[in-house]
Amino acid sequence: MCGRFARPMPRAVLEEHFGVAFPENVEPDWNIAPGLPVPVVYGAKKRSVVSPVWGFVPSWADQNKAKPVINARSETLWEKPSFKNAAIKGRCLFPAGAYYEWKRGFSGEKTPFAVRMKNSEVFALAGIMEEGCHPSFVCRRPTSAVITCEPNSLIRSVHNRMPVIITPENYDVWLDPSTPADKIDLLMQALPSTLFETFQVCCKVNSNRNNGPELLMKAVIRPSLLD
């Protein structure tokens, strides 16, 4: 699952990385949560930036019954009627610098961890997008979800799912609606553990009302009295 992520870099860094202009209101954000518009990169021949709501609703869903979904499983992306059209025509990229996951302990408590790539300030979460009736908004508007897959060995120590991450050399392949499904399937695999690092962060990230660079700082782990 991917239910929270960070985009801590300035707009200029995003524009250089993705080769497209971002709106002026796109600022560094250390605690991006579902339910609000999130900038994504869309389009193959000519890239653009749009801001769908993070919470996918298919175009045919009834607004009164719509249940937004923040993640779509890669294994069933082509099979589920909710995602099939968006998987072909609405693939997009969520710019990110890290994402958060909560590790469940033996007694049920959840500890927040950050995951980021070792050698890249910016990376892209694979997503899908489609216009639908999101219950939080009166009118129809673009909605989106992050695609997840089976984790690599490092991420598995924290959680049993991870977001699909598209590498820069595959951005155009991913965004092009004419790319065959079998090639897209190859991209929806976990990248190697050696490319990532994960570390415990402060529990302030638990609330999306908190935001700032301190959320991505390594937590100070105090030794147990039993050690």
Splitting the chain (227 residues) into consecutive groups of 10 residues, what average pLDDT does each group show? 93 97 96 96 94 93 83 96 95 98 86 95 97 81 96 95 97 97 97 97 93 91 51
CA 183-188-192 angle, to 5 degrees, is: 115
43 with 89: CB under 8 angstroms? no
Residue 116 domain-assigned (yes or no):
no
Q: Out of 92, 101, 130, 133, which one is annotated catalytic? A: 101
Please report the pLDDT score of residue 1 as a whole number: 76
The Cα–Cα gap between 123 and 20 comes to 15
Between β-strands 40-42 and 91-96, what pairing exists: parallel, antiparallel or unpaired? antiparallel
Residue 129 counted as domain residue: yes
Q: Which of 2, 92, 133, 149 is catalytic?
A: 2
Dihedral angle sign, alpha carbons of residues 182, 45, 127, 114: positive
Cα separation, 219 vs 203, in Å, equals 9
Going by C-alpha positions, the residue among 111, 84, 116 that lies closest to residue 219 is 111
pLDDT at 226: 44
Q: Is residue 213 part of a domain?
A: no
3-class SS of residue 32:
strand
**Is 144 part of any domain?**
yes
DSSP state, 38?
-
**What is the number of structural domains in the chain?**
1
Cα 74 to the chain's mean position, in Å? 13
Start-to-end CA span in the chain (Å):
33
Q: Three-state SS for 119?
A: coil
Strand pairing class (196-200; 165-166):
unpaired
CATH number of the domain to which 21 belongs = 3.90.1680.10
Residue 139 is among the residues annotated as catalytic for this protein: no
The reply to whether 101 belongs to the active site is yes
Angle CA(118)–CA(124)–CA(129) in degrees, nearest 5?
160
Residue ranges making up the domain that contains 87: 5-100+121-193
In a domain, 112, yes or no: no
Tell me, yes or no, if the pTM score tops 0.85.
yes
The residue written with tokens 């500890």 in the block is: 111
What is the C-alpha to C-alpha distance for residues 43 and 45, in angstroms, rounded to an integer? 6
- Using DSSP bridges, classify how beta strands 162-163 and 141-149 pair: parallel, antiparallel or unpaired: antiparallel
Q: Please check whether residue 105 lies inside any domain of the structure.
A: no
